[in-house]
A and B are shown apart, each in its own frame.
Chain A
Amino acid sequence: MDFELSPEHRMIRDTVQDFCEEEIKPIAQEVESEHRFPKEVFDQLGKLDMMGVPVSEEYGGLGGDQLMYALVTEELGRVSGGIGLSYAAHVSLGSKPIESFGTEEQKERWLTPLAQGDGMGAWALTEPGSGSDASDMDTTAVKDGDEWVLNGTKQFITNANVADSVLVKAVTDPNAGYDGISTFIIDPQNDDGFAVTTVWDKMGLNCSPTCEIALDDVRVPADRLLGEAGEGWTQTMKTLEGGRISIAALSTGLAQGAYEAAHQYAQEREQFGKPISKFDAIRDKLVDMYRKTERARLLTHNAAWRYDNGKPVTKASALAKLDASEASREVAEDAVQVLGGYGYTEDFAPQRFYRDAKLMEIGEGTSEIQHLIIGRQLGL
């Protein structure tokens, strides 16, 4: 049993932390208030080799493991949930499936630019009529000669309006149930019939674009099918097992950022002649915030470790995601409370962490769905 990070992992975490402190933290509230996707930040992340951390070097990635990826994602979350979310969606959802399920040609054409930081990835599963029950989708892909023709609407798709590729799930065999779903690589810049119809204003995470997209007779060649026809659902399950670890890491980062803000403030703010950290009520709150953050991190690292060691990870990643997302919302709420009236203003970060944290209990499977998954794993 070894709880120490390797020197390499530590150096990577520390470097990313420095970068986030210097380059992202100062603009985190600004891009949020402006509802602006900070492309320049992602260009910098690309230069630092952060955009393909768990993608193999052969395709322009860093060749790191899931733990390394979790560390990087946590550091982004610690300063900006929105940047962290767009990052995690790009890596776990937009890039990794191409590496796992794509042909050699598909990897070279579509994965390499994403991993090198020359483009953003996106992944479109959810629809207006199907969220938790995602396989009940209406989007279809019909074979026409050598081509596929896609029709449908996808909802809440992160990065869709800034993406260079979108992995779209569609029904290719309406009679085959789970086995009738397939994944297609769509080029939003060049494929006719693809349109972003809405970019949502949200409770938080507003520097991360969340889009509704319409597919209207989008015609793509056969080589845009990812893996085999009918594999779309099993691919989805595998993708989310990894994705949930990154949402857990992102949540841990939000909790850490909120905890640190409260920890510092509580020692500086004086009431009744002493720092508020000296009041039992505030101290206990901070201790609990610390406890929850540490717990979230341990569960996240455990899930990442299992993933890296080829062990079953369904239960561990769902548990980490469930726990860390709750922890981040609770810790962020407590951070607002510790800062009192100032915590409720945009001049201080806790309100932003609070808004951002709420999504973590919804995206990539709601907490209710995580309970369902874990319950099933526990034989219930």
Chain B
Amino acid sequence: MMKVLVTVKEVAEVEEDFVLDGTRIDDRFLEYDLNEWDDYAIETAVQLAEAGDDVEVVSATIGPERCEETIRMALAKGVDRGIRVWDDTLASVDLLDVNAKTEIFNAIIAEEEPDLILTGVQAHDDSFGATGVSVADAAGYEWAAVVNALDLDADAGVAHVRRELEGGVEELTDVELPAVLTIQTGINEPRYASLRGIRMAQRKEIAQQTLDDLGLDEGAVESQITLTDMYEPESESDVELFEGDADAAAASLASVLREKGVGAQ
């Protein structure tokens, strides 16, 4: 039997027009959805479960009751059960940093002992992009970050992965299980939940756990990072239209590209 743990997060998306309130954005302007990367991680896990004989997929999230519907969508797609960590202490934390998340997931890993952990490369909202690897380090698991292709040999206990590096470079590498893989978008095509899946998901378990249940205390979520400011970055966009026939347009394009430094040695 193999157990796959997928960490999932409900992220906030800001509407086009919004108002800042200190370091917060009012709830009125936020819409919540499953983190895009996590959708690919879920799909990866579900495909493993479909291909394997005896694979259990468990999702874990840190978040308030509101996010149960989002998490349930993962169950609708084929995740077997969910764990949701939340309590008053977590509710009172302004910014949950990577260390805090690592402590919490590490406690879950100690309990669940998964063979494979899949996380998104990053979360769409606070974009630390560090949780997966940090969790691997704390749990003493192998890891591979930014994975965009996976071929798992469960019997041999090896994941053959392709990683996306900077500048279009890719790396093929083998990772021994137990391992954490942070999943990049595009690794697969996430499915729509079937309506039967959604109906069945209503009856699947999402177990709520508190820090206390996990053997953690307030100290686990204290952070050295504080959110000091929130502002809208100024953005500038510029358009240049090339007129004339193909030759003239190509020449103008070439000179613009040269000016911008493209192709410079």
Tell whether A12 pairs with B195 under 8 Å between CB atoms, given A7-B69, A7-B72: yes
CB 8 Å contact bits of A58-84 with B (1 = contact, 0 = none) = 000011100000001000000000000
Report chain B residues within 8 Å CB of A72.
195
With a cutoff of 8 Å between Cβ atoms, the chain B residues found around residue A7 in the complex are 68-69, 72, 202
A11 touches B73 (CB 8 A): yes
A305 at interface by CB-CB < 8 Å: no
Smallest distance from the beta carbon of B192 to chain A beta carbons, Å? 5
The residues in A between 1 and 60 inclusive whose CB is less than 8 angstroms from any CB of B are 7-8, 10-12, 15-16, 18-19, 47-50, 53
B196 touches A8 (CB 8 A): no
Inside 8 A of B194's CB, which chain A residues have their CB? 47-49
In the complex, what distance in Å separates the CA atom of A82 from the CA atom of B265?
57
B193 at interface (Cβ–Cβ under 8 A)? yes
B66 to chain A, nearest CB (A): 11
**Is B198 an interface residue when CB atoms closer than 8 A count as contact?**
yes
Contact B202 A8 (CB under 8 A): yes
Whether A11 pairs with B72 at a CB distance below 8 angstroms is yes
- CA A48 – CA B197 in complex, angstroms? 9
Judged by a CB distance under 8 angstroms, whether B41 is at the interface is: no
Instruction: Indicate with 1 or 0, residue by residue over B185-212, a CB within 8 angstroms of chain A CB atoms.
Output: 0000000111111110110000000000
- In the complex, A38→B76 CA distance in Å? 27
Question: CA separation between A247 and B202, bound complex, in Å?
Answer: 29
Which of these, A18, A50, A64, contacts B199 with CB under 8 Å? A64
Most buried by B among A7, A8, A11, A50: A11
Question: From residue A48, how far is it (CB to closest CB) to chain B in Å?
Answer: 5
Closest to A63 in B: B199
* A35 to B: closest C-beta gap in Å: 28
Residues of B close to A47: CB separation below 8 A: 194
A184-232 with Cβ < 8 A to chain B? none
**B192-A48 in contact (CB<8A):** yes
Write out the residue numbers on chain B whose beta carbons fall within 8 Å of the beta carbon of A53.
Answer: 195
- Minimum Cβ distance to chain A for residue B206 (Å): 12
Chain A nearest CB: distance from B17 CB in Å? 10
Known contacts A8-B202, A11-B73, A15-B192; 14 further A-B pairs (Cβ under 8 A): A8-B198, A11-B72, A11-B193, A11-B201, A12-B195, A12-B198, A15-B76, A15-B198, A18-B192, A48-B192, A62-B195, A62-B196, A63-B199, A64-B195
Q: List 19 A-B contacts (CB under 8 A).
A: A8-B198, A8-B199, A8-B202, A10-B69, A11-B69, A11-B72, A11-B198, A12-B195, A12-B198, A18-B192, A47-B194, A49-B196, A50-B195, A53-B195, A62-B196, A62-B199, A64-B195, A64-B199, A72-B195
Interface residues of B (CB under 8 A from A): 68-69, 72-73, 76, 192-199, 201-202
The 9 A-B pairs at the shortest CB distance, nearest first, are namely A49-B195, A49-B196, A49-B194, A11-B198, A8-B202, A48-B194, A19-B192, A15-B193, A62-B195
